[in-house]
Amino acid sequence: MQHLVSMEHLAVEEIENLIQKAMQYKAGEAVPNLKGRYIANLFFENSTRTKCSFEMAEHRLDMKQINFESSASSVQKGESLYDTCRTLQSIGCDALVIRHEQNHYYEPLLNMGIPIINAGDGSGQHPTQSLLDLMTIYETYGRFEGLKVVICGDIKNSRVARSNYHSLTALGAKVVFSSPDVWKDDSMA
């Protein structure tokens, strides 16, 4: 897998493999050697938990970080996301973590030849949060098949709800939503 951009793009086996690897890493087993690799964190939306979680994980993996600030970059002069990413790739970044307000921002970037990790796109997807949620569920229940999971709140605008819905249903859980009508999303009924 070169990119992690959407739970919809992952096969069940890939999801299960990622959860197993994460559990091994958590236990201190088989942690990959990424010392000296460069990763750029591009957060075009404010973030506390996701941004800090990525930074902490990158530190623990001995990666070198470039924390891109759009407010102090050529983006302010009209540079495109593609050109920004191409620049970061050309100066030696090995991977890009991106949070962006636009749904599917990553589509034009997928053929650049650099791994893209989606840290949230508009109301589209948040695959890394979904994987964390899945791991927590698996650690608690040891399975997904036959579980009933309730997701509450603003479903229509929640990238996490969308990612969890796709992954949980693919893994055999039944997902139920609870929200006021104005926050419902009929595409996930």
* Active-site entry in 35, 48, 49, 148: 49
49 is catalytic: yes
- pLDDT band at 187, cuts 50/70/90? confident
118-156 per-position pLDDT tens digit: 999 999 999 999 999 999 999 999 999 999 999 999 999
Q: Is 99 a catalytic residue?
A: yes
**Ordered strands of the 95-100 beta sheet:** 64-68, 38-43, 95-100, 116-121
Residue 9: pLDDT band with limits 50, 70, 90: very high
Q: Is the pTM of this model over 0.85?
A: yes
93-115 pLDDT, tens per residue? 999 999 999 999 999 999 999 99
Is the pLDDT at 13 greater than 90, yes or no?
yes
Catalytic residue among 3, 100, 126, 156: 126
- Among the options 3, 50, 84, 166, which is catalytic? 50
Choose the catalytic residue: 35, 48, 77, 148. Answer: 77
Question: Residue 137: how many CB atoms within 10 A of its CB?
Answer: 20
Q: Which residue out of 3, 99, 100, 166 is catalytically annotated?
A: 99
Residue 77 annotated as catalytic: yes
Q: How far is CA 97 from CA 39, 88, 144, in A?
A: 7, 11, 28
